[in-house]
A = this chain, B = another copy of it.
Amino acid sequence: MGFIASVQGTLLARPHRHLFTSILPTRFYSHMAKAQPHPFCLTFLGTASAVPSSTRSQSALALRNGTDTWLFDCGEGTQRQIQGSNVKMGRINKIFITHLHGDHIFGLVPLLAGLLNGSGGMVDEDDPREFLNVNKPAVEIYGPLGARAYVRSALAFTQTTLAQAYVVHELRFPDDPKTGDFTNLRKHHSESPSGRNIQQEDGVWKDFLKDGLVSFSAAPILHSIPCVGYVLAEDSLPGKVDPQKYIPELKRTGTPMTAMRDIKEGKRVKLNDGTILEGPSRRPGRKVVILGDTYDPSAIAALGQDADLLIHEATNAHLPGLDPRTKEEDTHELVERRTKSRGHSTPQMAGAFAKRINAKALVLNHFSTKYSGNDDDPPSKAIMDAIRGLAAGVADCEVHCSRDFWTYSVEVPTE
């Protein structure tokens, strides 16, 4: 206890200047814009496994939905990748961590420092930046047990001051403690105490969060350490209304035009003359599955069924004749066994999972640093094309290999 007590008692002591109560909402509540569907624009900010290279940064993926931006994983350098991308940092309001390996989380605290106007304090006076802006909701972080302790300890030891609040909600596994913070460092002055410890039910975290039209679920996926995949499921969307089909009927019967609101929602409406009009059938909402590192994501299959998009890692591949680093004794089976033993997947494994959940599209990411992300270089492009081909040969859908700064959109369905 001695040194932790020192940490708390001297160097890192900060008065709790701010009460975290309901004045600090930890969710964005729906407003009108949230009720409208927008394209889901996914920008790959980092597509490397483990060590970055000149062409690939560590894992990070931004999903823009209207004015919201949600970040999935945050490897080292994510802040700078955002600066070079079409993603606006200030719009990030939720960050989802798949697992605590450094290449997925090393950029999180630097990002918070940039996003929340972090500073190193003042000499001989109070730093106005230390006073939390209570009008802004806390940036929400979701991740497995330890995410809260990691962020708290990094902020404490670097003596970082933030001008906005953050909160860490943890997706707790059955073997994890059900309560507590996994550290006895006391809360940072900008950490909201409303962080939830979200328990699994029936082996998954179903609908642990709702934001506008989107429900977030998660499930454990197998890796060398506890790891989760996320499923974003949109509410069903109104069907397309043909006004010529309805408006003359409303006019003819003198029914108020406000009935169109129900019709647009797909409801049945009784006109003034007793006629029943039925709105168009609602369209199913979109579904996006974003996995962390895994050698077996079976537990997320049910939640992810019929996804419009699956993001699946493909760390290593057997590419004889193309990849000069291929060993003579290597076979597909040997490479797959080695890849699995490190908790990872081959393109074929990703393709098979896309087929299993009937995904409409598969995007591969998290490539070994030996696979360059420079598509302008013909040998590199040949390798990425081959990786794509290995997955496409198994999957029954379109397949892409991601590279840094590439954006893929899941459009609002038109019918």
Q: Name A residues whose Cβ lies closer than 8 Å to a Cβ of B.
A: 1-4, 6-7, 10-11, 50-54, 57-58, 76-77, 79-80, 83-84, 100-103, 105-107, 109-110, 113-114, 118-125, 145-146, 149-150, 153-154, 157-160, 175, 177, 180-184, 222-225, 293, 295, 340-343
Contact = CB atoms under 8 A, between A and B. Distances in A.
Contacts of A177: 3, 6
Which of A50, A53, A120, A181 has the most chain B CB atoms closer than 10 A to its own CB? A120
Contacts of A146: 11, 157
Given A177-B3, A180-B3, A120 B225 contact: yes
B83 A80 contact: no
A53 B110 CA distance: 13
12 contacts: A3-B149, A3-B182, A53-B83, A76-B76, A77-B77, A101-B158, A102-B160, A106-B109, A120-B223, A121-B224, A123-B343, A153-B153
Contacts of A153: 150, 153-154, 157
- A-B pairs, 6 with minimum CB distance: A150-B157, A102-B158, A121-B224, A76-B110, A153-B153, A101-B120
A101 B52 contact: no
Nearest to A159: B225
Chain A facing B: main interface SS: loop
B4 A4 contact: yes
B50 A224 contact: no
- Number of identical monomers bound together in the oligomeric complex: 2
B158 A150 contact: yes
A109 to B, nearest CB: 7
Nearest to A57: B80
B77 A123 contact: no
Contacts of A340: 123
Contacts of A50: 113, 118-120
A165 B311 CA distance: 36
A102 B118 contact: yes
A184 B154 contact: no
A92 to B, nearest CB: 15
